[in-house]
Amino acid sequence: MNTKKLYYLQSLSLVFVATLLLVTANIKANETQTYQEVEWIQLMPRDDLEALLNPPDYLANIQDGSEEDSVEALTGMVSEDVTTQRFQDALTSVRVINEFDNKPIKIPGFVVPLKSDEQQRVTEFFIVPYFGACLHMPPPPPNQMIHGKVETGFELAQLTEPFWFEGVIHIETMSNTTGTSAYGMSLDNIQAYE
């Protein structure tokens, strides 16, 4: 065998071995990835949470499902009252916790489908903290919604099905007619909540 062919084969062998090592390292890194389990309230600033936990008194008089029972109606009200204004601001807050940016997390939640593939598998969706969010009631504040996408899609038998979502969360505002999210997530795993 001539020297050039031998050199070429050795180079190919080295490239193959290096590629194999990188692929193996990436697989092992994904297998050993640890995700910080996060509760939804950790994703919102404390003062937003306080405002939502202490709503203005007049909300007790609004009938569920009425025209007044919507984010638009509540945020459209003009008020001089500081508590009311702070509550209205918290309903649409895109303020986030910067420390979570690019962190691997695990969070429980429900799916609000946005797009599906030809086989009716969900490919784009919002992850939300409670069932019915965005569908039967006003959506959660944007800092309580996470935008997700998966190329391969996944089967969603019922909207009432809870899941665990594992992946890297990032700060990203995304809006559509269904709602607005202040976070996005590059998903590694979606599994039934148990």
The answer to pTM > 0.85 is no
Q: d(Cα 132, Cα 179) in Å, to the nearest integer?
A: 13
Rounded Cα distance, 146 and 42, in Å? 13
Whose CA is closest to 41, among 173, 144, 174? 144
Rounded to 5°, angle at Cα 170 from 165 and 171:
130
36-192 fold = OB fold (Dihydrolipoamide Acetyltransferase, E2P) (2.40.50)
Q: What is the pLDDT of residues 132-181, one digit of tens each?
A: 776 656 789 999 999 999 999 999 999 999 999 999 999 999 999 999 99
CB under 8 Å to 56, separation ≥6 — which residues?
79, 81, 83, 84, 87
| Residue range 98-124, pLDDT digits in tens | 999 999 999 999 999 999 999 999 999
For the chain, the domains span 1-32, 36-192
* Closest alpha carbon to 138 in 130, 150, 147: 130
